[in-house]
Structures are given as C-alpha cells and as structure tokens.
Structure 1
C-alpha cells in the first residue's frame, strides 16, 4: 500500500512535468506546493497579446490519506496518470464531480 509521502512525490513530479509543457514563452507555469497542508497547484500566469492569462490548471489536495483532484484542466487527467503510477482508484477522489455522481466514476466517493 502506498503512503501519503509517496502520493506527495507523485503529485509534485506530475505537476512539475506538466509545467515544462507550456507552449508560449509569454506564459509562466507556476507550481505551488504546500506540503505542510497538502495543497498542490499548477497555475498559468502571463499575457497573450492584450489578453491576460491566469488560471489554475491543476489543483490537488491530500485529505485524510486520499488524493482529491479539485481542478483538472488537462486532456489526459491527472487521476489517470496517478493510476498509471500505481495509486489505487479507491485512493483518488474526483472532487470536481458532484458528490452524488462520484460513484459512477470508478474512483473513490470520499
């Protein structure tokens, strides 16, 4: 069984790798790791022409030993990447889905 420390490392590694994929030099990909409170984010910040770019691409928390995906703006889905790394689906909650719909996802409900 994986530990919370392993989950932290998986999350940090995935967010760091994703931050390197920014296609536009005017956009910064910032990783935010609060390991004390187990909050992890990937945020895009910058400008494209005269349009401001700012937003959370990924937001992941660890709550009561489970990985909560609060926001996921990626195509592949960080939950799927975590499963590929060996994290059991029952340890991943898709927090962006309504609680009454989570049992349909194949991931944890809470």
Structure 2
C-alpha cells in the first residue's frame, strides 16, 4: 500500500471514530462526510438542543 493510500485510510478511521461520539445535550446527530478523491473529510453536528438549532463542522481536514 502506498503512503498516500495509507494516510487516507488513517484519516478515514479517525473521522469514523470521532463521529461515533454523540453530544450529551439535545437531539444532536453526528455525520461523517468523506470524499477521498479530493481529500475532503468532515464531521458535522446536526439537530436540536431544546428550541435551538445545532449545525456545524466539528472536525475538518481539507487539502487546499
């Protein structure tokens, strides 16, 4: 396995491991967004905390 493929695999596993932990408050879901071709990786929080809408990136790894 070449070095780039190994790095992609490590980052993908880290994203999945981080995304399984849900916030303690509210009805908030975590979502993993992975696009290996342009190397875009992200974990999002989406949901509700009482009457407040929760949405946003928690972890982002982008190649610029």
Q: What residue in structure 2 maps to residue 5 of structure 1?
A: 5
Please give the alpha-carbon distance, in whole angstroms, between the structure 2 residues aligned to 1:38 and 1:45.
22
Matched pairs, number: 62
**TM-score of the superposed pair, with normalisation by structure 1:** 0.51
Q: What residue in structure 2 maps to residue 14 of structure 1?
A: 14
Detail structure 1 runs of 4+ shifted over 2 Å in the superposition: none
Unaligned runs of 5+ in 1: 64-110
Alignment of 1:42-81 (within 5 A): 42-62=43-63
Unaligned runs of 5+ in 2: none
Please give the alpha-carbon distance, in whole angstroms, between the structure 1 residues aligned to 2:31 and 2:23.
14
**TM-score of the superposed pair, with normalisation by structure 2:** 0.84
Q: What's the offset of the Cα at 1:26?
A: 1.2
| SS at structure 2 position matched to 1:58 | strand
Please give the alpha-carbon distance, in whole angstroms, between the structure 1 residues aligned to 2:23 and 2:42.
19
TM-superposition CA deviations, 1:49-107 (whole Å, max 9, x none): 000110100111246xxxxxxxxxxxxxxxxxxxxxxxxxxxxxxxxxxxxxxxxxxxx
Structure with bigger strand share is 2
User: Which of structures 1 and 2 has the bigger CA Rg?
Assistant: 1
RMSD over aligned CA atoms reads 1.7
